[in-house]
Structure 1
Amino acid sequence: MDFSSLVLMERENETGFVKKELGSYKVSEGALFIKKLYMIDGVVNVFFDTNKDVEEWEYSAIYDLFNVDCFKEKGYEVTEELEEYNPSFILKFDYVDDHNVMQEKISEVVDLIDQSMNKVFKDIEGKEEEYKED
């Protein structure tokens, strides 16, 4: 699937219902990893995962080797979402009511996600025996 943009929606805090569209942002192919994007109470929530099913050993390896620090260094909050079938993460940052600033932030986030996911898949290569359970 080719991505050209992501739409940021505002959700109601109490119900989770969509209130309004906040903007549409041009993105790179890294957006393939993003599953949900919305804002609640001034905080943008970006849900992303591996964009493909992984084997059981890869699940653990990805969580062990995924670099959350590169996000934290840029001021983003990242947490693991362990309830999903594939390794998934939630990234959060404050919403800014300036389209250009948000475009820069969302582009940066998409690029970081893309780089981090591609890196972790390279980093787990050859580690199957280390992570396989007997």
Structure 2
Amino acid sequence: MQRLKTRPQFQVTLACGIVSRTAHFALHRSPLDRSPAGDSRPDHAGPDARPLFGVQDVWVGAMVPKRWARRAVTRNTIKRQIYQVSATFEPRLAAAAHVVRLRATFDRSQFISATSDVLKRAVRAELEQLFGRVADTGLAEQAA
């Protein structure tokens, strides 16, 4: 599994739309052969251009905005959960770029501690549900 690192990789993946969502997360997926639209930079144009995704593999990125998780420790905990759950689903995911985006806050009155086991379990359960919805469909699309 590869991790998304550059802004263009995230932008291309987010532009493709949502393939799965839960109460707190959205999963975006993009085929690996997409290029940034309207990008006229020389490294993305011409026959000798470098591809945005260098390897045919499962690519995963995590977006956890401050807007939805104020504390850095909470953002880091959620990102770790995203990468751990995605690693368990990797064999069942299509070779594509995936971005998991936090789209709502976890209620601080219910999850008082920033790294409580209750929060980790809730995040993990939702992420498993999110990836479970697209895991097998991604392989079916790839085989067709």
Classify the TM-score, shorter chain.
0.3 to 0.5
Return the TM-score normalized by structure 2. Answer: 0.31
Return the TM-score normalized by structure 1. Answer: 0.32
**Structure with greater contact order relative to length (CA < 8 Å, sep ≥ 6):** 2
